[in-house]
Every structure is written in C-alpha cells, then in structure tokens.
Amino acid sequence: MNPKLLFFPLLATSLLLCHPAHAECEPATCSSLTVRYPFWLGGPNLNQSSPSSASCGHPAFEVWCSPDGVASLRGSQILVLSIDYTNSSFVVAHKRVADGGDGVCRTDFNISSSLALSPFTVSSSNLAICFLYSCNGTEPPEIDGLVNATIPSCSKPIYAYLGGSYDRDKPPAIKAGNCTYSYLPVLWPESPVNLTAGTNYSPLFKKGFVLEWQKNGFGDCDACNASGGQCRYINDSAAAFACLCSDGELRGTICAGSKKTGRRTILIVLTAAAAGLLLPCIYVLIWHGKGKQLRYFLCTKTSSTSERNIEALIISYGSIAPTRYKYSEVTKITSFLNSKLGEGGYGVVFKGRLQDGRLVAAKFLHDSKGNGEEFVNEVMSIGRTSHINIVSLFGFCLEGSKRALLYEYMPNGSLDNYIYSENPKEILGWEKLYGIAIGIARGLEYLHHSCNTRIIHFDIKPQNILLDQDFCPKIADFGLAKLCRTKESKLSVTGARGTIGFIAPEVIYRSFGIASTKSDVYSYGMMLLEMVGGRKNAKSMVENSSEKYFPDWIYDHFAQDDGLQACQVTSEVEQIAKKMTLIGLWCVQVLPMHRPTITQVLDMFERSLDELEMPPKQNFSELLEHPAQEINTESTSSTINTKAAQALSEVLRVEETSLVNSNDPTVTTNYAKR
C-alpha cells in the first residue's frame, strides 16, 4: 500500500480534532475574580504553549494571576480588582498604592499614559481628586475644601481637595497659582467624604478607579453565548471577534442557522475509526524500515537551507503557523505592486489588502546571498508573539529567492516621521509621546520575559516603531533578533548587530560585557532621548566644535536645568520631559550592569520624578587614558583595552567626550531614592 494513502485519514482527523478554534475557553478564576471574554488568563504562571490561550480573548485584555491570587493587567503594576461584564467596565488600582507603600506621596501618576490606555478609557463615573504641590515656596491659592495633606515621608508639601466627576479630556478648572497640579480618578465614595489634614484620602486610592471598554469593538459575547456559542478572538479575522458554534464553525456574531452538526459529527467518527485501523499498519511499515517514503512525503525536499528551516518552522507551529502565500498571491494582494509605501536596504514595502478586507504592508525582501537567516529570524521570532505593542505578522512567502512578509498595516507610519519633524510635540503632544514610550517598554518587557522563548530585538530605533490609527506603538522588524531560552538573558553573538547611534557597546566589543536583554535597554534609552528632542538641539550647540556624544550633551544640560528649555518644553509638561530624559540617561549607561532591566524601566515610569535618582556621571575619556582598567561586568571581569575603546569610539563618534563613570566598578542600578 502506498504510505501516502495512509497519511490522509490521520491528517484529516488531526485537523478536525486539534484545530485551535475547537479548544475550550471556559471562564477561569483568579482568587475571587472571574476571567472570561474579552479577558483571558495568560502570563508566566500559565501554560502558554496551549494553542487555545490567545484565542480566548483580546490581547489587550490579558490578565496575569500571581501564585498568591493577585490579578494584574498584562503583568503590569495595574491590579484588576473586579470586572463588570454587563457594563463593560472593571476596577483597577496601582500596585504600589494598593500595597500601602508610599502611595500618598505619589501624586503625579499620569493615568492616561502610564496605562498605555488603548483600548480602555477612564470612566466618567469616577470622582476626581486634585493635588497641588511644588508651590515654589509660596502658599497655595484659596480653594474651597483644600487641605494640607502632607505627611512626614513626603519630601514636599502636598495639598488636596475633591473635584467633581473625572473627565480626562476636560480637566477641572484648577487655579494652581505657582503650584504644579495633577488630578486622579478614584471610585465615587458610597457616603460623602470631606478631606482633612493627613492621609485619609489614601483609602480612596486603594479602592481603585473604573476603566471601561467599548463592547461593540470586541463583539457581542452575550448574544453569542445566548445562541449556544463560545466567544473567540481570531487574529487572522477582519473583525477579530467570532462566535464558535457547536458544529465547529466560526460565525460573525451568533450561531443561529447552524446546520452541519450531524454531518460533521459523522465525519469525525468515521475518520477517527479509519485512523484507528490504519495506525497499526503505519507502525508496521516504519518498524520494518519501509517508512522512508512516508518520511519523504512528510518532509519534502526544498530548494535551500532557508526553505527547510521554514518547513520545519511550519511543522513546529502546526495549525497556528503564520499563513504561507504563493508569490503570485502576494503580488495580487498588493494589486500587482501598485502602492509603494517605502524602500530600504532590506527591500521594498507595498500596501495591500487581503481577501477579508484587512490592509497589510507587504515587505518584499531583496534576494539574499546567505542562507536567509534574517528572514527566518523574523518569521520565527515575530510568529511567536501576541501583544498589543508588537506588530502582527499575517503571513509570509518563500519561493526560492523570492521572500515576502505580510504585516498588519500601520496607517500612521513609523515613529521617526514624528520625532524628527519640525514640531513633533505639536503633532503628537507630550502626553502622547509619553504613552508611546511606555507602550514600547511594555512590548520589550513582553519580548524579554513573557514569550515562551525570550527574544532580544537588537535593533530598537524610531524607524522600527510603527504607529496604528490610535498612535499605539508596535515594535517591528525582527530581522536581527535572537532567541534564547526563557531562563537565560545573555547570549553569544557574532558580529555587530544594530544601527549606529542605537547599538549597545557590548554588542560591538565583548570587553564591555555580554550581549543580553540589557542591549535592548540601551537602544531603548537612546531612542527615548531622541523622543525628548535633544539631538537636533545638541547638533546646533556643538556646531563648529568637536563632535559631542549625544547622551553626554543631554546629561550636561539636564544637570544645568537648561536642556529642556532648548527642547521647547513648557512648564506644563516639564515633569514628563524630565522623567523621560532621566530614564533615558539610566538606560544608556555604558556597562550593562549599570542599566536597569526593562521591567525596572516600567517601574521608573510609575514613580514620581522626585523619587528618581540622577544616574552617575559618565566619563569615556577615562577608558582612553587607562586602557588596562579592570571593570567587573555582569558575567566576568574583563579588560577594557585600547582596541575596545577605539572600537566604541568609532561607532559612537565620540571625540574627547565624557561617557563612562568613575573608577568604582561596584556601581549598581539604584535609580530610586531611598
């Protein structure tokens, strides 16, 4: 008997019984919290290899449950206290406030941007609590209900009063005088509350505030359940929401009209029975050494090493692999390469539309002279991801030397189009830039800690950050990415990887340390400083003089408190710009051991500016003057020799400029004030 004939019943049964859409998505629990669509239970404490997990809810609604039963939104500092599915709302609280730490002194939480809110909004059912602080030595203005809420642990006086209904888009009319002000949402108390001197507003913070989502944006799950179906999030569907019916079919809203249940059940039973009879025959064939034809059928020869890698990738992914398209199909999707979006060293990008109506960006790669490592990297790494801040890969094409990648289309292009424009802050606004910075950090945290396989991107820069219709940032271009096991954060790399100006020193020369997730943190820090807008001003400041190392220029002017004025920062957003600058300077410490992790970076965003330490001053010239200086890195004690210093100097374009800190090799990443 031809082994190929034996394979088809087994394949048919597998496809019918093991498709992700058939997996159960029963409501899960985290302590007393019930988690169901559009929320879903994910995170490191769950078996994420299960193909059903990501289809049980929308990526933005991922809930992590800690071993002690504490639920958080996508593993962030935002705790989920309760969910009201009827009213499409849920109550959240900041972890540090809920834990009862120093929350009462933390008056400058920027709720809208620190949450990277999309697709959530702060409910107008919340009450606004208003704060005045940093009054520059003057008394606050006369306001009804204003009390001195300062406690001994607060470094500066804080005044508070209760406003009306919270509205993020319409700030309350606050007569701040010479004070800085902020206003935060809290749950409307069940009984009237009058603030008094002291800390009695702290319990309001601990009870959290209400976030809402638009039900029509994520499907009518109640109607689907009422019709006997189960709600699903389908990443390759134009509508994203689908209703899984009892006959195994996915429908748009409800299951009315299902007619294939009996026929499908009979088919499943027959194919299962056929597979049961044929499995012993297959076993005998393989046992007697006659399985070569079957193995050949399953593992067809391909024309190149990269094609074999892709074929192996498809087998490892099974039914959740990215869709593979023929080259003729891709050209048709792009209307025969009609709408060109851009071109670079990697290839050309065209706009296209899939049959289901979704817009895509099709990246046609130039003919590769190697084994297609970057192409395989991109498909393998991004194909493993599912996160709101990571661009989605819809499919790929591999036909000999013809290679293409189909991504979700980002209508607002890349971040560099905005931060390098003449008036970038007028286009996006500082709060929007702040939210974009946090979104990118969340995407990196997911790559570094939340994937089944840890991913180091190695090319974080504004050109590789894409913005969707709501300016939600998404990390793209994984051609230089490297995968490592989840318990590891360091790996060996051959050759420099990255872009001049953003590449970490240890990636260029091993003496500075080992390439790791901290390498992405360095690139992120450089990008953060670019977003503040300092490089353009730095260039003008050093015109007709020796070239300056960009972070060094930022550090000098930040310390002198005049750099932000050069960046056209107004007093209203000075706190945001200063915090972004300070975090960026921490991230670009030359030695990896001195940089924060990306998780620590997110914690820095959640802290107030007063809580953050100034990073140590760096002095690159010391490396040039003392080439034999021993510096302890994260993994080994290595010598920074003249060759290393010259290599780094060439890449960073530094001439007699400050860069790496003092002679003390024991400096640790202590970014928070004690």
SS (H, E, C) 265-326: HHHHHHHHHHHHHHHHHHHHHHHCCCCHHHHHHHCCCCCCHHHHHHHHHHHHHHHHCCEEEC
Instruction: Give the pLDDT score at 261.
Output: 45
CB atoms within 10 A of CB 302: 15
If pLDDT is split at 50, 70 and 90, which confidence band does 262 have? very low
**CA angle in degrees (0–180, nearest 5) for 26-28-29:** 155
More confident residue, 385 or 539: 385
Highest-scoring range by mean pLDDT, 92-101, 241-250, 346-355, 494-503: 346-355
Instruction: Give the pLDDT score at 26.
Output: 80
Token representation of residue 170: 């319409």
Which of 312-326, 330-344, 481-495 is predicted least confidently? 481-495
Polymer length of the chain: 674
Q: Is 383 left (phi over 0), alpha (psi -120 to 50) or beta?
A: alpha
Instruction: Give the pLDDT score at 314.
Output: 54
- 63 phi and psi angles, rounded to 5 deg: -115, 130
Residues 210, 185: Cα–Cα separation, whole Å? 8
Q: Residue 236 catalytic?
A: no
Residues 517, 346: Cα–Cα separation, whole Å? 24
Distances (CA, A) of 325 to 315, 379, 392, 494: 16, 13, 16, 32
CB atoms within 10 A of CB 152: 4
| Cis before 38? omega within 30 | yes
Token representation of residue 203: 């319990």
pLDDT above 70: percentage of residues in the chain: 53
Chain Cα centroid distance, residue 664 = 34
Mean pLDDT of 127-131: 81
608-612 contact pairs (CB < 8 A, 24+): 608/105, 608/106, 608/107, 608/108, 609/108, 609/575, 609/578, 609/579, 609/582, 610/155, 610/156, 610/673, 611/106, 611/672, 611/673, 612/579, 612/582, 612/583, 612/671, 612/672, 612/673
Instruction: Give the pLDDT score at 621.
Output: 45
- 316 phi and psi angles, rounded to 5 deg: -65, -35
> Domains, the chain, ranges and CATH?
305-408 (3.30.200.20), 416-486+503-652 (1.10.510.10)
Instruction: Give the pLDDT score at 381.
Output: 67
More confident residue, 90 or 244: 90
Mean pLDDT of 465-492: 73
Residues 518, 589: Cα–Cα separation, whole Å? 10
Pairing verdict, β 323-325 and 393-399: parallel
Mean pLDDT of 82-97: 86
pLDDT (tens digit, 9 = 90+) per residue, 433-449? 888 999 999 889 888 87
More confident residue, 329 or 147: 329
Instruction: Give the pLDDT score at 513.
Output: 77
Residues 526, 587: Cα–Cα separation, whole Å? 8
Mean pLDDT, the chain, whole residue set: 69
Residues 48, 61: Cα–Cα separation, whole Å? 15
Q: Say which residues have a Cβ less than 8 Å from residue 27's Cβ, sequence separation at least 6.
A: 34, 35, 36
More confident residue, 425 or 307: 307
Beta strands in 134-224 (DSSP E): 147-148, 158-165, 180-186, 209-212
Instruction: Give the pLDDT score at 392.
Output: 84
Instruction: Give the pLDDT score at 83.
Output: 94
**CA angle in degrees (0–180, nearest 5) for 497-502-506:** 55
DSSP run (H or E) holding 527 = helix 517-532
Instruction: Give the pLDDT score at 365.
Output: 80
488-496 contact pairs (CB < 8 A, 24+): 488/454, 489/448, 489/454, 489/516, 489/517, 489/518, 490/514, 490/515, 490/516, 490/634, 490/635, 491/456, 491/515, 491/516, 493/458, 496/651
Residues 402, 326: Cα–Cα separation, whole Å? 10
Instruction: Give the pLDDT score at 385.
Output: 72
Q: What is the pTM of this model?
A: 0.56
Instruction: Give the pLDDT score at 619.
Output: 61
Which of 119-128, 153-162, 224-233, 533-542 is predicted least confidently? 533-542
Residues 276, 654: Cα–Cα separation, whole Å? 70
| Residue 146 confidence (pLDDT) above 50 | yes
Which of 10-19, 28-37, 194-203, 311-320 is predicted least confidently? 10-19
pLDDT (tens digit, 9 = 90+) per residue, 25-62? 788 889 899 998 889 888 776 654 443 456 788 877 88
Mean pLDDT of 266-295: 55
Distances (CA, A) of 379 to 304, 311, 480, 495: 16, 12, 11, 21
Mean pLDDT of 295-310: 48
| Residue 104 confidence (pLDDT) above 90 | no
If pLDDT is split at 50, 70 and 90, which confidence band does 586 have? very high
Which of 165-179, 349-363, 451-465 is predicted least confidently? 165-179
| Residue 508 confidence (pLDDT) above 70 | yes
CB atoms within 10 A of CB 180: 18
More confident residue, 51 or 578: 578
Residues 207, 91: Cα–Cα separation, whole Å? 8
579 in a labelled binding site:
no
Instruction: Give the pLDDT score at 33.
Output: 92
pLDDT above 90: percentage of residues in the chain: 8
Residues 316, 380: Cα–Cα separation, whole Å? 10
Q: Which residues are registered as beta bridge partners of 446?
A: none
pLDDT (tens digit, 9 = 90+) per residue, 341-400? 877 667 788 999 988 788 999 988 876 545 556 676 677 667 667 778 888 888 888 887
If pLDDT is split at 50, 70 and 90, which confidence band does 207 have? confident
pLDDT (tens digit, 9 = 90+) per residue, 549-567? 566 666 666 666 654 544 4
Distances (CA, A) of 186 to 58, 91, 161, 164, 284: 26, 10, 12, 11, 69
Residues 419, 423: Cα–Cα separation, whole Å? 8
Which of 16-25, 280-289, 612-621 is predicted least confidently? 16-25
Instruction: Give the pLDDT score at 103.
Output: 47
pLDDT (tens digit, 9 = 90+) per residue, 661-672? 223 333 345 666
If pLDDT is split at 50, 70 and 90, which confidence band does 82 have? very high
Instruction: Give the pLDDT score at 440.
Output: 94
Instruction: Give the pLDDT score at 11.
Output: 45
Residues 109, 193: Cα–Cα separation, whole Å? 22
Residues 208, 92: Cα–Cα separation, whole Å? 5
Highest-scoring range by mean pLDDT, 172-176, 249-253, 282-286: 249-253
Sign of the CA dihedral 409, 413, 415, 418?
negative
Token representation of residue 580: 């972004």
Residues 304, 298: Cα–Cα separation, whole Å? 17
Q: Say which residues have a Cβ less than 8 Å from residue 110's Cβ, sequence separation at least 6.
A: 182, 431, 434, 576
Residue from 108, 459, 520, 552 carrying the catalytic annotation: 459
Q: Say which residues have a Cβ less than 8 Å from residue 569's Cβ, sequence separation at least 6.
A: 430, 577
